[in-house]
Structures are given as structure tokens and as C-alpha cells.
Chains A and B, each alone.
Chain A
């Protein structure tokens, strides 16, 4: 799915002052592309991700997903659009504590109105794919952090999203678990040919992206992808395998 950001600006009123978090953001993400958004804390990465996913409306500018203007949709239309096309992975996993692993993965499928036998099978298969086939009926509190994030990955892919947004997916994990989750994320993304936009602090993870957009103080300071040019997947992976620091975009 193609993502177009046009002249995005986001500002909040805070203590009577106008605080500009993002300004003058424009770029295009092509279908199948894997983009990492990097930058120091407070540079506006997460805000940008929220805008791209239609979780909030920008102060000005617009976001087009698959040619459709998110800002022109109603709250319900955006919700329906997300349910059909978008997957999420969060830094804090965000599993619903009252649901088992299997039920957490089922949520997006059920939201689409199915929840049939086939969906349960699909959720089960996904959990097996992330290595949790034995822990279907465990509650989040009974799973380790790495396991929880793997459940979240399975959930993100459950509705076969055209685009996946990930916010620091390895940020709360130790190196070993982080690497495993990153591997899974990249593999699943490749298997399912999903557009992937991820925000990260982790240079290794960013290095695996085909394109790196760097933010500072709410502006794009560099974009390895240039004017929406897709970087061939193979080369991005090659770079990651070689352990190149931060995508060589700086």
C-alpha cells in the first residue's frame, strides 16, 4: 500500500503555548517498502507514526493511504479502514490483559466480523509461526516480555494488513529477545509482502530497513529513499547482514 505524507504539520496547545511537534513533512512510501523512522527522543517519530496510521488528525497537511485521504474520513471510516488494512506493533506490546494469547490474536479478525473456525485456525497457525503454539491459552501476565511481543506480532499480521506500523518494537526487550522479535518481524513482513513503517532507536533494526528517514526537532533531516524511490529489498538486507550502522543515511 502506498503511503503519501503531504506537508504535515502537527502542533499542540500546551500551557497556553503552541508547541510544534512536526513541520513540513512530505514523503511517499511505496507498496512493499520497509521504512525506518529514526531520530532522538522528542523528535516527533511517534507523532508521525500516529498521523500516518490515522490515529490523530494533523494540524495541517494530509496523509493518503492507497490514495485515500485519511483526514477526509470520519472516525468510523478510519476505524473500518484500519481494521481492514492496518497492523500495529507497540513498544509496550499492548496486549489486552483480560484475553488469552489466542484471543488477543483473534481480536482483529473478529473486528472484521468473522471469528469463525477458520479464523481460530489462522490465529493458532500464526502463534505457532511465532513459536508460541504451546501457549495459546496463557494470559499476557503469564508470558515473558519477548513472548508478549511475539503474540503482538501474530496479532499485527492476523488481518493480513497491507501496511504495518511498528513503534519501537524491540525497545522494551533485551538484546537477545529484541533480535528474535526483529528477525520475526522482518521475516513475516517479507513473507506477507506488507508495507512496513517502523520507528526505532535500535541502529541494527534500522539498518535492516530499505530506507531510513531521520527526524530532528520535528523536521526530516535526511531520507535515504530520496523522492519516493524504492530501495531494492536485497540491498537493504545485505546492508543489515553486514551490520552497517544506521543505514548510512546521515
Chain B
């Protein structure tokens, strides 16, 4: 092979096709930019997390307990403090709070009762600056800025929490591990631990978390402590958190987020490469005569192939380089977009691994996609130079083509797995890409076949010519269908999922569904509360008892024994150790379906007297590795209760409703200590606010969730997440549009010729525009329709298997996606064919005809 000649020819060819070079490189650059941005962001996050993990925990070691530390753990805490380690204590719980400065509705806040110099690490700043110190000295509080907004309060106002009152000393302006979303859901208030008793809130059933923090700068010492007291912590149900664990957990969570975005970026890259393949395909067809001529002049097949391979490689590398540079810039935008989900300050930095990785992946994938059509070059016979009509003889699946196809499949799968959060997601993604491509390809094929068969003979000339353009030689139907269809598919799928998730949370005005939940109601408050509700004309929509309990044995085996058993697979620690909030009821509710066993009225009687029948959430049952007929022994505030699983339920957790892992048969828990939840619906927001205020003023311990507020918050969070996802999907759309522009550009020469011919024959510009409009409209509508249909199917799959919620086809959104994409296709088609219509025919004919 004559390498110098090939290089020189490649260079000259590229020079002559500037317009296409730009489009080709842009198609690759878009995907690479997205990929490099996301992967750089991923490493920015990892770096920030490892830098800030200690500040996020605020300490080197944290111990946590639900009921307050037991004596042995307390003794350990005291001994650590005595040993000279700086120690702090805190109690965290949820409570309603309101200000006496106005009559606004109370809000559920996260109360942090602090004692000691926590956090030991990280910067806390407040406004005014001294508030973080002064609030510890009296009945004062420091709050998140959101608290002031929600309650309509100001610094200096009085904040009522339970039975106690605190002066708002200041607001937090900076706090380590700041998390926008979390603050929006449960804004924080810090009070001195000394006054927590005065609130009177730490009663039975309240969800408090007791914490102890230590500053132990020697990491090995932390490790040693955990090793030494592991059994104690297990036995005393104390959770341990270290800096390393925070780093790992947070890194994993944020990594998944980044990887999810990475998959969308990969989709953009693949989409661009579809464009590359189709551009090369058309290009090769056009260059057939040059190829034949070079062969005539004595160039070997290999040499000619090399010319075009070098071109494709150079363009791929060039596009990838532009993309990598752009991506490095774009990563600076991502932190702002994702700030609410990322509790660390991210300093974007040029990441060599991401840049090189993106470059290599982009260049290789582009080359692999180009290779497929390029292989055809080797089949061109030199005879073509003498006889135009001499076609390549055979079109068989030769070993090279098969090898390239296999390489492509393997490459895409490998790239998917490397980007995906886990192997299965990666495989699923690759399969999804393959299926989508195949279906869209089939659609394009059908469109061409259909157009040819049912060419509307009766229609006007413009329509017939436009439809005929769909299947003419060098048509762009396949490339454009893939590009547009893929883009629409991605965006519509996102939209479908969002609409469905939000639809689950809808508290529509005309319905009977509750919009206010009151909980932590003590047994002795029920009668009085109902009276208060009745007084205000509110009738409860439902009421549930909550009986906190822990599992003490499964099928007679004590939990401690199960946990100590290291042979074989055992249920995870959290299912055995957690505190269950159980209820009893006689019917299934709307959000539940029975999946195994029978409900009380049909189920067989318990196998022994005194055993309660229960119904378990199917996922919990799976974690516990038990099923219908198995026994669980409960510890209900010290009283053992024996139970037998009578049925399993699937619960739709996506609905805002009171759902329980464990439901007891009524009558079996009557005497157990319990709290109550009451659901109500109050239409008027002002009345709803007033009711909440009245309830809290009378019963300071009762917490309330205004479900309308919750829905608003979730809505805001989801919109924010959708924004980030859409931002990445934008790259796919851009790639799709570039593919479209590219496919129009590649046929430009032919169009110029046709248009000049038509105009010479007397066609007016309007008619030529109509022909173009018909063609693009046909491609746009069919591609967008298939994309939307695939999105509806994908949405169903995601709803069914990932979100596990009922699915509803959002016809409006799909129709909007369809129309928008069709209109956009026509617009882009027109924009890039502008010259075709405007040019005087003579100029074109002189240029083309010889």
C-alpha cells in the first residue's frame, strides 16, 4: 500500500468537502462533548466527596440510636470522652413549628438539639455571624433560611416547638453537606440540647434519632474502635457511621447519578455515529467513480480503501477533539444544574482521563460506524470508470463485514457497560439501543416500501414527487428516521416517566383523596382531636393505628442468632434490626394488591391459638426470606407477640398514602401501645392552614403533613432532576438535528441538480418548496411517530419494572412531541435546502452538466 499517496489523497478530498466535514465532525463532537462533560463531572464529584466527606459527617465517628443510647453504649461514649476525644451529642426529630409573630400555618421541621462543638469539621456560617455561638447559651435557635420563608418569620421572632419557645438567633448561610433537596423537604432548626425536654416532644412513638459524635483524628483508631465494639453495637441496635462510609455511600449515590447521565451522553454519541455511518454511506456512493478511476490508474484496492479510511479516521479524531474541548467546558455548567442533589462544592477541573477516554471512544466508535459503508469501496471494480452502469456484482455478508458488525456490537455493549451504574443496566441499555435502532430501521424500510407501493397517483405533482423522493437513490429516509426517531424517543420517554411519576402524586381538587395527614397522635388524644376536627367541620377520611415493634425472632430463631450466623446467606441487617411501624386493618386499601396467600376472611385459622395473622409486603418477605405460613415473633414495647404470615401484598409506594410493611389482623394488637394517624381533606388552603395552627396549639406533639405542600416540593425536585436529564438529552436532540442537516447536505448536490432541472422545465420556487415540504413532513411525522410510540412502550416498561407503579399513556405529551418534532424536521430541512430553491438554475446546470 502506498501510504504517502493515500494520506495526500485523503487530505485533498477533505479540503474539497468543507461543508460536510463540519457536519460530520459536529455529529461526533456533540456526543463526545456530552460524554466528556459527564465523565469529568463524575471525577469532579468523586474528588469533592473525598475532600468533603469528613466535613459532611462533621466528625470522625458517629453513633446513632432510635431509642436513646442503652447503658453499655452510654458507658462507651463516656469512656471515649474521658479518654480525651472531643465529643458532642445531638437529638434529631421531626416536629411542627410556628412563629407567634403571625398566624401562618405551622410547618414540619427537622429539629436538631445540639450539645458540644459539633460539627468538628467544615465551616458553618450564620447571619448574624455570632448566632452559631450565641444560640447555645439560651432558649435560642438557628434555622435554615427556608424556615423563615415557610413560616413568614424573621430573625428575633419567637419560634414555638412543642411546648417550648425559642428566639430565632440567626439563619444558616453555609453548612457542610448542604443539600438543596433535603433542605426543601425538611428545613432544619438547631436548638441547644439542654432545652429539648421543655418541648415535651420526645414521647412514645415519636421518630427521634439520638446521636453522639467524636473527633478521633487517627483513622486507624476509629477503625480499631469499630472492630472492637462491633458486637456491642449490633446487640444494642446502634448504628455506626465513619468518614470512609460517608465517602463510599455518597460517592456511590452521586456516581450512579452521573452514570445515568453518562448513558444519555452515550446515546447522543451513538446517534451522532448513525449520522456518520449514513454520511459515509452516501459519500461512498458518490465517490464510486473516483474510486473506479483510481483503480484504473493502478491504485490497489487497499490503497483506495486507505484513502477513505484515513479521511474517516481524521474526521472522527477531529470531531472527538472538538467535542472533548467543548465537553471540558460544559462540565462547568453541570454543577449548577445538579447543585440541589450534590451536597459538596464541586470545583470543575480539566480531567485528563475523561478527555482522553472521550476522545478515544468518540474516534473509535465513529471509525467503526464508518467502516461498515467504507468496506463497500473494496467492491468497486475499475470497469465502472468505463461503464457507468456497471454495478458491483455481489452483495454478500463477507467475513470483513461480519467482523465489523461484531466489533460494533461488542464496542457498543462495552461502552454501555462502562458508562452504566451496573452491568445489567449497561446490557439493558445496549439491548434497548439495538431494539430501538432495529425498530426505527424497520419503520424507515416500511416508509420507503409504503411510499413506493401506495404512491398517491391522484395527488398533485408536488406530493407525488415529494413522496417519490423518499425512496429515490441516495435518499435520506433511513438516516433521518433514525436520527429524528431516536431523539424523539429519548425526550418523549423522559417526559412520559415524569408525567407518570407526578400523576401518582396528584391530589386533584375534585377528588375524595386526603390532602392533610396528622400523625404522632397519642391514644388519649384521639377523642379530643376528633372533637376539634368536628368543631371545624372536618370529618376524617381515615384513621390508622401505628404500633411500633421490632422483630425478635423469625421461625423461632432469635435475631441475634440469625445475625451471628455467617454460614450461608442471611437476611440483611436492616430488615432484622429496624423498627417496624405496624398497623391492623380489616380490608386491603387502594394501593395494595394481594400476591400470595389469602386475606383474613378467607385465610385458614392460625396454626396455634394466640398467634396473630399478619400480611407482609412482598419485598420485605423476600428480604426476610420467608413466605406464607412462616412465623415472626415481635417485640412490642417489651411484650412478645407471636405472628404467622397469612398473605403477601404488593404496595404501590409511589402514591402518597399510609402504607405499611406489616398489617396485623384486627383484634390482635388492641392492647399494644400505639399512636394514630388521621387523614383529612380540607379544600380551602386558608382553612387548612388555620386548622393546622389550631391542632398544634392544642396538641404540640401532633405532626402534620400538608400533602399539597409535599406534592409541590416533590414536583420541584423532580422538575429539577428532569432539567438535568433534559440538558443531557439536549445533546441527543442536537446530534439528531445534525444528522438531519447532514443527510440533507449530503444530497444537496443531487437536489441542486433536480431543482435546477425542474425550474428549467418551468417549476416555480413554490412548487419546489412544496416538494421539499412533502418529503420532510413524511419523514418527520413517521420518524417522530415511531419515536413517540417507542417512548410509550419504554415508559410502560420503566413504570412496570423500575418504578413499579401503574402506567398511563400521556397522550397529550406524546402528541406534542410528535407535532413538535415533525415541525422541526420541516424547518431544519428547509433551512438547509435554502440555496437549493434560491439559486438560478443556469448557474447550477453549468456547474453540473458536462
Contacts and interface: CB of A to CB of B under 8 A. Distances in A.
Contact of A82 (B17, B298, B301): B298
B5 A110 contact: yes
Contacts of B395: none
B386 interface: yes
Residue with the greatest number of chain A CB neighbours at <10 A, chosen from B293, B294, B385: B293
A110 B13 contact: no
Nearest to B295: A79
A97 B16 contact: yes
Nearest to B297: A108
Interface stretch (A30-38, A84-92, A128-136): A84-92
Interface in A65-101: 75-76, 79-84, 86, 88, 90, 92-94, 96-99
A82 B387 contact: no
A172 B4 contact: no
B522 to A, nearest CB: 86
Contacts of A167: 386
B4 A93 contact: no
A194 to B, nearest CB: 15
B300 A96 contact: no
Contacts of B298: 79-84, 86, 108, 111, 159
A88 B385 contact: yes
Interface string B367-399: 000000000000001110111100000000000
B289 interface: yes
Contacts of B838: none
Contacts of A111: 2, 5, 294, 297-299, 303
B724 to A, nearest CB: 44
Contact of A90 (B15, B381, B385): B385
B698 interface: no
Interface residues of A, number: 39
A186 B572 CA distance: 94
Contacts of A107: 9, 294, 297
A28 B670 CA distance: 116
Interface of B is mostly: helix
A20 B300 CA distance: 29
Contact of B296 (A88, A97, A148, A172): A88
Interface string B278-313: 000000000001100111111111110000000000
A98 B15 contact: yes
A75 B300 contact: yes
A145 B296 CA distance: 21
A179 B12 CA distance: 33
Contacts of A93: 850
A108 B294 CA distance: 9
Given A107-B294, A110-B4, A113-B2, A79 B299 contact: yes
B296 to A, nearest CB: 5
Interface stretch (A49-57, A204-212, A221-229): A49-57
B5 A115 contact: yes
Contacts of B17: 98
A115 B4 contact: yes
Interface string A202-246: 000000000000000000000000000000000000000000000
A76 B81 CA distance: 86
Interface in A146-169: 148, 155, 159, 167
A102 to B, nearest CB: 11
A83 B299 contact: yes
A97 B17 CA distance: 11
Contacts of A98: 12-13, 15-17, 290
A99 B12 contact: yes
B283 to A, nearest CB: 11
A76 B297 contact: no
Contacts of B386: 46, 49-50, 55, 90, 167
A110 B13 CA distance: 15
B8 interface: yes
A46 B289 CA distance: 16
A46 B387 contact: yes
A113 B4 contact: yes
A91 to B, nearest CB: 8
Given A50-B383, A98-B13, A99-B12, A141 B297 contact: no
Nearest to B298: A83
Contact of A56 (B16, B290, B294, B383): B383
A107 B303 CA distance: 12
B847 interface: yes
B296 A82 contact: yes
Contacts of A110: 2, 4-5, 8-9
A103 B12 contact: yes
A89 B93 CA distance: 92
A93 B295 CA distance: 15
A148 B16 contact: no
B2 A96 contact: no
A36 B157 CA distance: 110
Nearest to B387: A46
Contacts of A55: 295-296, 381-383, 385-386
A90 to B, nearest CB: 6
Given A79-B301, A97-B16, A172 B850 contact: yes
Interface in B415-465: none
A108 B850 CA distance: 24
A79 B850 CA distance: 29
B388 to A, nearest CB: 8
Residue with the greatest number of chain B CB neighbours at <10 A, chosen from A107, A113, A145: A107
Nearest to B304: A79
B293 A96 contact: yes
Contacts of B2: 110-111, 113
Contact of B385 (A94, A97, A172): A94
Nearest to B13: A98
A175 B88 CA distance: 105
Contact of B297 (A82, A99, A172): A82
A80 B16 CA distance: 27
Contacts of B4: 110, 113, 115
Nearest to A98: B16
Given A98-B16, A113-B5, A75 B301 contact: yes
Nearest to A86: B298
Contacts of B297: 82-83, 88, 107-108, 111, 155
Contacts of B300: 75-76, 79-80
A99 B307 CA distance: 14
A37 B382 CA distance: 20
B8 A115 contact: yes
B296 A53 contact: yes
A90 B385 CA distance: 8
Nearest to B15: A98
27 contacts: A46-B386, A50-B386, A55-B296, A55-B383, A55-B385, A56-B383, A75-B300, A75-B301, A79-B301, A80-B298, A83-B298, A86-B298, A88-B297, A93-B850, A97-B290, A98-B16, A108-B297, A110-B2, A110-B4, A111-B294, A111-B298, A113-B5, A115-B8, A145-B850, A148-B850, A159-B298, A167-B386
Interface of B: 2, 4-5, 8-9, 12-13, 15-17, 289-290, 293-303, 381-383, 385-388, 847, 850
Given A84-B298, A110-B9, 20 more contacts: A46-B387, A55-B381, A56-B382, A79-B298, A79-B301, A80-B300, A81-B298, A82-B296, A83-B297, A88-B385, A90-B386, A99-B16, A107-B294, A111-B299, A113-B2, A113-B5, A115-B4, A139-B16, A155-B297, A167-B386
A-B pairs, 3 with minimum CB distance: A83-B298, A98-B16, A82-B298
